[in-house]
Amino acid sequence: MRLCGIETEYGIYVEGKEAKDLINESMAMVRAYPGPHGKPWDYKGEDPRRDQRGFRAERLTQNAQEALYEKQAPSPPMEEARSDRVLQNGARLYNDHGHPEYSTPECRALIDLVTHDRAGERIVLECARAYEAQTGRAVSIYKNNTDYNGASYGTHENYLVSRDLPWETLAAGIMPFFVTRQIYAGAGKVGVESEKGNAEIAAYQLSQRADFFTEEQSVDTLARRPILNTRDEPHANPAHWRRFHVICGDCNLCETSTALKVGTADLVLSLLEEGWSPGIAVATPVEAIQTVSRDPSLKWIVPLADGRTIPAVDLQRVYLAAARERLAGRDDETDWIINEWEAILDGLESDPRALADRLDWVAKRNLLETYGEAEALTWADPILQSLDLEYHNVDPDAGLYYGLEALGEVRRLTTEDAIEAARTTPPTDTRAALRGFAATRFSEHLFSLRWNRVTFKNGSDTRAVDLNPFAEGDPRPLIAQLDALESPADFVRLLEAGDVTREDSESA
């Protein structure tokens, strides 16, 4: 698998606090993290207005509700507001507009990414418990994407993609895939809402995020959200690589949903890099992503630009068939993704309810329907929306998903021991191990950190080491030598002398 990562903004409820207070409460929660970490984060190399289409946007659109809260409770300077922590496992933990956000370390194996995504749930909950101990205020943490009052917060995916793949080709090829991926990657949701106001209670839908997209492409993420985010911040050698920043996906608790969400996208990107094209264009993607999500019939019919229509399952099969033809046998991981993808699509056609052990939207719907039937409730009853939220509670003693997991009713891909280890141990084959080591072993000498740079300062001597060469190389020979290092200077010398970049990376 290519280098990948997941960023998750967690919803929070703090006893006795209003929405306008949550920026400061989220900052305090992140700072309560009790484990070893490094800081500060260096924002100088970031430019969220630089666009993949070859220009720089004049401005970013801000969510009106969040702007009001920030005006009522002005935020401190960037470094203090973000409250960044770089963790021992190479991940980044910070505050993002009133939400604790956990960005996994870069992963090269799908099982590593699923495991580190789950570790993020435990780490953010650990912050909440430390905050409770400090303040005496009860906190609930939700791995979801909406507050049901018109605000949405993201679960973003990041994929390292060859710069040789033109953006226009990437966008055209992947748009139909993203419009329909929610049939197995959606988190499920009671009701329909938008940034214009409170939820309009309606039937159950597939996706928590679909309601909030109004554009096909743009650099924005907070308002006027696009299906395809065009931000061009590679966090790697920009001459060779793009970072494809995906904002249209839901959060997931079911491990199969997470694995398929990322694994299928990785295969589609590989197909597009090889020059393959689906030969399909959706007529109106923004309308289609919402229509598919809200379709109570579960037929999920998608209008195409040429006037035809196609069921979402069949559209996904176009990508699946190409992956099986061109990529099968590449490695065991690829074959697992292809086979599971096909099994899920078959199940969606024959009996979606039977997929409750693997897909979040099905698991949640089955729970809510069972309760609603027992209590003679309709989808318009607010108690079902409350239970929807509790599905995403990451407290193992309170969360409905965790209840299913404890009963053995959902399939596991990782283990509790692996998740516990991932809280402090980075992937063993990516540059995250280098960053996590520097951030925690030599934290007193840190001047700043980025995804692709570590800077140390000792008196007047400032030394920076570039992590770009290790973005798509194999740093394991260097990682094996880390424990023997005694100083930041040793670390810098080791990385400057190490050349682990693959030949194909240099030519990409």
3-state secondary structure of 165: coil
In angstroms, rounded to a whole number, what is the distance separating the alpha carbons of residues 108 and 430? 7
> How is the chain split into domains, by residue range?
4-420, 428-507
- Spatial separation of the C-alpha atoms in residues 365 and 356, rounded to whole Å: 9
- Work out the percent of the chain whose per-residue pLDDT is above 90: 85
User: What per-residue confidence (pLDDT) applies to 81?
Assistant: 82
- Interatomic CA distance for residues 371 and 377, integer angstroms: 8
Average pLDDT over residues 104-115: 98
pLDDT for res 71: 58
CATH architecture of the region 4-420: 2-Layer Sandwich (3.30)
Q: What local confidence, expressed as pLDDT, does residue 80 receive?
A: 74
Per-residue HEC secondary structure of 231-292 comes to ECCCCCCCCCEEEEEECCCCCCCCHHHHHHHHHHHHHHHHHHHCCCCCCCCECCHHHHHHHH
> Is the pLDDT score of 276 beyond 90?
yes
Residue 500 has pLDDT above 60, yes or no: no
Task: Label residue 403 by pLDDT band (50, 70, 90).
Answer: very high
pLDDT of residue 223: 84
Nearest to 112 by CA among 262, 252, 267: 262
Using alpha carbons, list the distances in angstroms from residue 492 to 8, 73, 470: 31, 41, 14
Distances (CA, A) of 241 to 70, 236, 291, 333: 35, 6, 34, 23
Clarify whether 96 is annotated catalytic: yes
Q: Please determine, for residue 507, whether its predicted confidence score (pLDDT) is greater than 50.
A: no
Give the C-alpha separation, 276 to 284, whole Å.
22
Which range, of 53-67, 98-112, 346-360, averages the lowest pLDDT? 53-67
CB proximity list for 71: less than 8 A, separation 6 or greater: none
Strand 11-14 to strand 309-311: parallel, antiparallel, or no bridges (unpaired)?
unpaired
Average pLDDT across the chain, whole number: 92
Quick check: 139 and 214 in contact, CB under 8 A? no
Q: What are phi and psi of 386, to 5 degrees?
A: -65, -40
The stretch 262-290 carries a mean pLDDT of 98
What is the pLDDT, as a whole number, of residue 474? 85
Q: Which listed residue (51, 84, 96, 232) is catalytic? A: 96
- pLDDT of the residue at 505: 32
Mean pLDDT, to the nearest integer, of 126-152? 95
What average pLDDT score do residues 86-100 get?
Answer: 96
* pLDDT given at position 418: 98
In 3-state terms, what secondary structure has residue 193?
strand
Band (201; pLDDT cuts 50, 70, 90): low
pLDDT band of residue 504 (cuts 50, 70, 90) is: very low
φ/ψ of 204, rounded to 5, equals -75, 140
pLDDT at 503: 31
Question: Of 57-71, 249-263, 306-320, 429-443, which range is least confident?
Answer: 57-71
| pLDDT tens digits, one per residue of 308-322 | 999 999 999 999 999
Single-letter code of the amino acid located at 38: G
Residue 11 clears pLDDT 50, i.e. is over it: yes
Q: What is the pLDDT of residue 495?
A: 93
Model confidence at 2, in pLDDT bands (50, 70, 90)?
Answer: very high
State the pLDDT confidence band at 78, using cuts at 50, 70 and 90. low
Per-residue pLDDT at 72:
58
Query: pLDDT per residue over 26-65, tens digit each?
Result: 999 999 999 999 999 998 878 999 999 999 988 888 765 5
**Type of residue at 33:** Y
In whole angstroms, how far apart are CA 508 and each of 15, 106, 118, 237? 51, 19, 32, 10
